[in-house]
Amino acid sequence: MRYGGETLSVVSYPDGRIELVRGEEVLPFKVFDAVRPLPETAADDMTFNVRVDELLKRRRWSDKSRPAPNHPWRCYPAAASSGAGQLASP
């Protein structure tokens, strides 16, 4: 990593601490997006499939969420005729 033309070293300790070092100097820094620990229980295939199925059921359309037949989103203007199949008059 470069810092004003100088090389920075990122030191990661076993206890989770991190230091940025430039030469002999330890630089201050701030972590903006801390790593969140993973959940203790990992999901197996069957548990994962059940969770996905539950999420999909919640996302499905219901009759209440569908727009009415006369809703503006469903009322498209009639397409203009292209004139295909008609003969030109002489």
pTM for this entry: 0.33
Q: Pick from 31, 6, 9, 5: which is nearest to 20 by CA?
A: 9
Above 70 in pLDDT, residue 40? no
Above 80 in pLDDT, residue 26? yes
Residues 6+ apart with CB under 8 A from 44: none
Structure confidence by residue, pLDDT tens digits, 6-19? 788 899 999 988 89
Q: Is the Cβ–Cβ distance between 67 and 76 less than 8 Å? A: no
Mapping DSSP to helix (H, G, I), strand (E, B) and coil, where does residue 53 land? helix
For the CA atoms of 58, 60, 64, 65, the dihedral, rounded to the nearest 10 degrees, stands at 100
Which backbone phi and psi does 10 adopt, to 5 degrees? Answer: -100, 120
Structure confidence by residue, pLDDT tens digits, 69-86? 888 877 777 777 666 666
Least confident range of 9-23, 25-39, 55-69: 55-69
Structure confidence by residue, pLDDT tens digits, 48-59? 888 888 888 877
